[in-house]
Amino acid sequence: MLNLAELSFSGAQFDRAAHLRSKKAVSKIESNAKNLVIWRGKILIDHNNFNIVYLPSIHPIINISDISPIFLGQIDEIDYYAHDISNWDPKESNDILKSNFLDETQQNHPDLELYQSFSDLRLMMTQLTKLEASLASTAKALFSWHNSNNFCSKCGNKSISTLAGWQRDCTKCNTQHYPRTDPVVIMLITEGDNVLLGRSPQWPDKMYSCLAGFIEPGETLESAVSREVKEETNIEITQVSYVTSQPWAFPSSLMIGCIAKAISKKITIDPLELEDAQWFSKDTLLKAYAGFDVGITPARQGTIAEFLIQNWVKGILVHQY
């Protein structure tokens, strides 16, 4: 049986309290509320114990933001809010802060303790509890949506955050806009004891992962899986089945994990999509996980790609047909 506890951002539940959003949008944040803070997509982390830092409602850092807070929901009847202070400019130079595949830099605000800093959620996702990872990813995805939707897509006028951060309203044509989640298929393609993995040019050296791609309008999951595999590698597949899903707030996707069988084996990559794609044997992957240099570094821990690959290697994930 698949153990979803191994999959980051999955399996945790908190009360999103949608029925309270209209009230929380107009009321003052309660004094006992817990407030997590985001800076340019990074989460404020306590690096002594690798937990999210929850600031009190009166903390001065919360008041420096010009972005409306988001009411995330409740846990044990305590309100949880997210605040974005991206308008704060740290002392570090732009060269230090430039984005990479993984941003390993940390930023310390002068009003916080030295062990409290803003860190890339992808670096921290396996160290946070399931509940905290879920809260952080929800906040990150929502603020990303707000940052990309400041103007009405219908008339172009300025829109404003409403419903405690879960809606944006146009102040001219009154159109209401809601957060969007982009569905992405990610698939483990097998051929006997071999699995098809690819890599993008911006990834770390030797890293290979499952093929993936956005679902297009009018497509089923099965059609999207077949199309993406065909487009990227020219491999024909059959017997597509759903495995599990993972919210992925980079910026706002739902990764829909599938497994399928290949009915052809010759790979012809699309160089616009992939740098390389290869068939890897189960034995090769076992050696890679054991730390041997076999020319491949599997997908990162906590990702749905790594979850699919590991469970297939272990013999837990099998075709349903």
The answer as to whether 163 is a domain residue is: no
95 and 137, same structural domain? yes
Give yes or no: residues 211 and 135 share one domain.
no
272's tokens: 């616009």
Last residue of a domain, one of 104, 126, 148: 148
User: Do 127 and 211 reside in the same domain of the chain?
Assistant: no
At 63, the pLDDT band (50, 70, 90 cuts) reads confident
- Does residue 180 have a pLDDT over 60? yes
- 248 and 306 co-located in one domain: yes
Considering the domain boundaries, does residue 93 fall inside one? yes
Q: What is the spatial distance between Cα 169 and Cα 234, in angstroms, rounded to a whole number?
A: 44
Instruction: Indicate whether 216 and 114 sit together in one domain.
Output: no
**CA-based torsion, 80, 85, 91, 95: positive or negative:** positive
Planar angle of CA 272, 230, 213, nearest 5 degrees: 65
Domain that holds residue 204: 182-313
Alpha-carbon distance 240 to 189, whole Å?
A: 9
pLDDT tier at 19 (50, 70, 90 boundaries)? very high
Q: Do the domain assignments include residue 266?
A: yes
Residue 215 counted as domain residue = yes
Instruction: State whether 244 and 136 are in the same domain.
Output: no
pLDDT of amino acid 320: 76
Q: Give domain status of residue 309, yes or no.
A: yes
Rounded CA-CA distance 286/65 in Å is: 48
State the pTM of this model.
0.93
57 and 189 fall within a common domain: no
- CATH code of residue 272: 3.90.79.10
The reply to whether 277 falls in a domain is yes
For the residues 227-250, what does the mean pLDDT come to? 97
95 band by pLDDT with thresholds 50, 70 and 90 = very low
Q: pLDDT tens across 153-162, in order?
A: 999 999 999 9
188 and 119 both lie in a single domain: no
Judge whether 88 lies within some domain: yes
pLDDT at residue 49 tops 50: yes
The domain total for the chain is: 2
Average the pLDDT over 94-110 and give the result: 73
